Amino acid sequence: MMSPCLGRCFFCAQPAVTNPPKSEWTGWTRVASLLEENPEVGLTRLCIGGTEPTTHPDFYRALKLANDHGFTEIELMTSGVPLAEPGEAQRWRKAGIQTIATPIYSADAAVHDAVTGMACHATLLRGLDAAKQAGIEVRLHTLALTETLAGLEALAALVQERWHHPLTLAPARPKDAVWSYAQQAPSLTAVAQALGALEPGAIQLTGWPDCLAPSHARGAAQVIDLYFRGQTRDYAETCIQCSGQPQCPGVVSALLQRDGSQGLSIL
């Protein structure tokens, strides 16, 4: 659902995301048409993503329609910040939300807030705790950024201990109009080195080639896995020789264009 995002993350924020014209917001007719088709299909699981679906004026209306049309498992991609409002977590759970997929960038408030461009770390943690207490499953992910790699171990420990699910690490999306991906995105080699310092299983991965840190499990909330697998990607010449290539999701094209086969290996 397209509507204004609450964050100001340096790798994403632009007027089209933080203040899109209302003509760009997802219209109710579109939302309703997708949900009303479900009785014929018979699905039970619904993933709701976008910018920040909770800012959409039809957010609760969409949840009610989803419940009315057979969706019994609802997973929401959200910044998590609105959950800090008293009673909001309970309202989400009552409306049918079972799982939230939320980004978190550091256990250190200063680092997280610098990435998001707003002082929200304490609010986020309070909201995530409220979600857990309301019976909502909390699934967290972070991005491989130069700013986040050094703090992965502490962040993974915080996530596991506080919300009882492993942290997922994903690659950032190239948005050249917003940030210099070629200059700022860490290489596969740098990501592998950071992961190599962690115990196997301390963190999960999504959106990466299978040869990157194979000792770490792959996994994420479904809406996040779909989101990062949707990045434009390709294979290097090295990949063609790999027996795992047919099943491998490949490499984000912007990384491949910049670094070639650096950091890739043959399984």
What pLDDT does residue 229 have? 83
What pLDDT does residue 89 have? 98
Mean pLDDT value of segment 78-99: 97
The whole-angstrom separation of Cα 257 and Cα 111 is 29
Under the banding of pLDDT at 50, 70 and 90, the label for residue 86 is very high
Phi-psi region at 250: left, alpha or beta (left = phi > 0; alpha = psi -120 to 50): left
Q: Is the pLDDT of residue 105 over 90?
A: yes
81, 85, 91, 92: CA torsion to nearest 10: 0
* CA neighbor of 140 nearest in space, from 160, 154, 120, 111: 160
Q: Which residues of 16-33 are buried (b: 16+ CB within 10 A; e: fewer)?
A: ebbebeeeebbeeeebee
Under the banding of pLDDT at 50, 70 and 90, the label for residue 264 is very high
Q: Is the pLDDT of residue 259 over 90?
A: yes
The whole-angstrom separation of Cα 137 and Cα 101 is 9
Residue 234 to residues 33, 46, 248, Cα–Cα distance (Å): 34, 29, 10
Mean pLDDT is lowest, of 85-94, 125-134, 167-176, for: 167-176
What pLDDT does residue 267 have? 87
What pLDDT does residue 242 have? 93
Annotated domain spans of the chain: 15-231
DSSP secondary structure letter of residue 49: -
Under the banding of pLDDT at 50, 70 and 90, the label for residue 140 is very high
For strand 167-171 and strand 97-103, is the pairing parallel, antiparallel, or unpaired?
unpaired
Cα 22 → chain centroid:
24
Average pLDDT of the chain? 95
The residue with greater pLDDT, 181 or 125, is 125
Mean pLDDT value of segment 259-267: 92
* CA-based torsion, 147, 83, 85, 164: positive or negative: negative
Roughly what angle, to the nearest 10 degrees, separates helices 109-116 and 121-133? 100
The whole-angstrom separation of Cα 166 and Cα 71 is 26
Q: Which helix (H) or strand (E) holds 225?
A: helix 222-229
The CATH topology of domain 15-231 is: TIM Barrel (3.20.20)
Helix, coil or strand: residue 129: helix
Residue 8 to residues 60, 63, 241, 246, Cα–Cα distance (Å): 24, 26, 41, 37
What pLDDT does residue 232 have? 87
**Which pTM value belongs to this model?**
0.95
